[in-house]
Structure 1
């Protein structure tokens, strides 16, 4: 099969009410320290099973704890290959290239499932950016415009990975 995409790990972003309390819980649950901690944010790189778990402090506002789902890949070419695959299947991807998100420089593409769950495919180009760099970036990091499977814009999300 051509255009093989090497998946690195799944990505799960959870909205949490208290990131400090959640860090403590996930450290105990997973048996490891977070790989990145910033104000209102933490990331755990889990080896087994391969998982990029991020915690984003924010009020739920009745929307639940799931922020979005993702698949981390090895390169920008893999992001583009997945985007092309989605387009060939009639999905309507949105791309964010060279975007600052999660204290990292990333290339990514997004699609929404029929219930509005957001999926991203992304590559980290540069990791561990400073809080100042992140804060200077748009406040809409990891906030794709919600687009239904029909391609029509619906609303704007309010999460950050």
Structure 2
């Protein structure tokens, strides 16, 4: 089953934890010095915030799945749309290990599809250890969306 994912970069983590805890009627299920996450069932969403020096606002969107089979199906859908994509198997990011698959929509918003494999002790171990990868752990390599990619999206949607 899929869970919608939203990640927002914030300037003041504590103020945002208070705000979103009031909005969601519950405190975060994961709380770190620079990160908080709410895993909710109604609505089924993985909502995360982080204070990591990124510009405040929407960081990325995504779909979290429960199985490798669901992730493979999402990968196939993206491949059929001929959209630029980036694969990150066994990535360590946001205090979790996940198999990830990134795309960027025509507006430049990063979308991640992923299956969580377990916990990680460091927020972004991949960004610190893998040279040449994305500067931040929760983002695909920055790319300009090509005109042909926009056309492919327009055809499919």
The TM-score by the shorter chain falls in which range? 0.7 to 0.9
2:141 maps to 145
Tell me whether 1:105 sits opposite 2:97 in the alignment: yes
Q: Which residue of the other structure, out of 78, 82, 107, is the alignment partner of 1:115?
A: 107
Select between 74-83 and 28-37 the one with higher mean Cα deviation.
Answer: 74-83
Per-residue displacement from partner, 1:123-151 (whole Å, max 9, x unpaired)?
Answer: 11003x324xx464424311211234439
Q: TM-score, normalised by structure 2?
A: 0.81
Give yes or no for contact 1:83–1:93 (8 Å, CA) kept in 2.
no
Q: What RMSD in Å do the two structures reach over aligned CA positions?
A: 2.0
Q: CA deviation at 1:92?
A: 2.0
Change (3 A) 1:137 1:89: closer
Structure 1 Cα separation of the partners of residues 78 and 48 of structure 2: 25
2:33 maps to 39
1:65 maps to 57
Q: Which has the higher helix share?
A: 2
1:130 maps to 121
Tell me whether 1:74 sits opposite 2:99 in the alignment: no
2:45 maps to 51
Give yes or no for contact 2:30–2:38 (8 Å, CA) kept in 1.
yes
Gaps of 5+ in 2: 129-135, 149-157
Q: Which residue of the other structure, out of 14, 23, 31, is the alignment partner of 1:20?
A: 14
Q: State the aligned residue count.
A: 141
